Amino acid sequence: MNLTEITWPVFKLGEREPQQRDGVVYYLVNYVDEQNQPAVSFKVVDDKSVPGATLGLRRLQLKSQDEKLFAIRTAVYFLADLVKLAKSKTWFIDSSGHVFQYRKTLRAKLTTKKIKQVLPADGLGCVVELCGISSRFKCMRHPGEFESYARVLQHGMGFIFYGFCEKLEPDSWRMV
């Protein structure tokens, strides 16, 4: 799956590949019941036959039908967070219901820039302006009291916001 095909937000499923059949994404979970007998539980991640344009709307429908849902605990809103969370065995599902693994294939320079200005944003978070970079970055949280620098991934002519830090860190490289 190509990054341009992803419908954000993305949700982390875990390190086991989910099973898929007839538009249903699910996990079979093995457990021991009250009589110490092995049992299997069917936990649904998504069912595309249920009405709803997004994963969240379909899961609400499934929940109202008392379907056992697989717990999704981590939502990813930014590419940098996907890069940080992705391991070689990690599985994700996007808002349209596509299951995928993110493969890190490129090296990018991780550099530190001084925060020039923090601007308010509608809703949650802020917009950060950095010294030496003409573009601004939307962040989910404001920098902490002592965080006066930001880390950015530089690949080609573009930048990806990576996070805040307290001091000037040496440049390094990351797989993205």
- Domain ranges for the chain, please list them: 3-100, 107-175
**9 cis-preceded (ω within 30 degrees of 0):** yes
Name the one residue in this structure whose structure tokens are 């036959």.
Answer: 49
pLDDT band for position 94 (cuts 50, 70, 90)? very high
pLDDT band for position 38 (cuts 50, 70, 90)? confident
List, for residues 4-35, the tens digit of each pLDDT value.
Answer: 899 999 999 999 999 999 999 999 988 888 88
What's the rounded Cα separation, in Å, for the pair 82 and 92? 9
Residues 87, 81 contacting (CB under 8 angstroms): no
pLDDT tops 90 at residue 37: no
Query: What distances in angstroms separate CA 164 from CA 3, 84, 87, 131, one per listed residue?
Result: 24, 14, 22, 14
What pLDDT does residue 124 have? 83
Give Cβ neighbours of residue 93 (< 8 Å, ≥ 6 apart). 10, 11, 13, 18, 25, 45, 46, 55, 72, 99, 100
Residues 23, 47 contacting (CB under 8 angstroms): yes
What pLDDT does residue 123 have? 82
Q: What is the CA radius of gyration of the chain?
A: 20
pLDDT tops 90 at residue 137: yes
Whole-prediction pTM: 0.84
